[in-house]
Amino acid sequence: GIQVEQSPPDLILQEGANSTLRCNFSDSVNNLQWFHQNPWGQLINLFYIPSGTKQNGRLSATTVATERYSLLYISSSQTTDSGVYFCAVEVTGTASKLTFGTGTRLQVTL
Partner 1 sequence: EPEVTQTPSHQVTQMGQEVILRCVPISNHLYFYWYRQILGQKVEFLVSFYNNEISEKSEIFDDQFSVERPDGSNFTLKIRSTKLEDSAMYFCATLAGNDYEQYFGPGTRLTVT
The contact set with partner 1 (CB under 8 A) reads: 30-31, 33, 35, 41-43, 45, 48, 86, 88, 90, 94-103
Residue nearer to partner 1 on the CB measure, 81 or 90:
90
Q: How far is the CB of 64 from partner 1 (least distance, A)?
A: 19
Cα distances from 49 to residues 14, 17, 90, in angstroms, run 28, 24, 11
d(CA 32, CA 104): 16
Q: Which stretches within 24-94 are classed as H helix? A: none
Contact call for residues 108 and 91 (beta carbons, < 8 A): no
Q: How far is the CB of 11 from partner 1 (least distance, A)?
A: 17
Residue nearer to partner 1 on the CB measure, 14 or 45:
45
Q: How far is the CB of 68 from partner 1 (least distance, A)?
A: 18
Residue of 77, 74, 76 whose CA lies nearest to 61: 74
Q: How far is the CB of 87 from partner 1 (least distance, A)?
A: 10
Residue nearer to partner 1 on the CB measure, 30 or 82:
30
Residue of 28, 37, 65, 67 whose CA lies nearest to 49: 65
Residue nearer to partner 1 on the CB measure, 38 or 75:
38
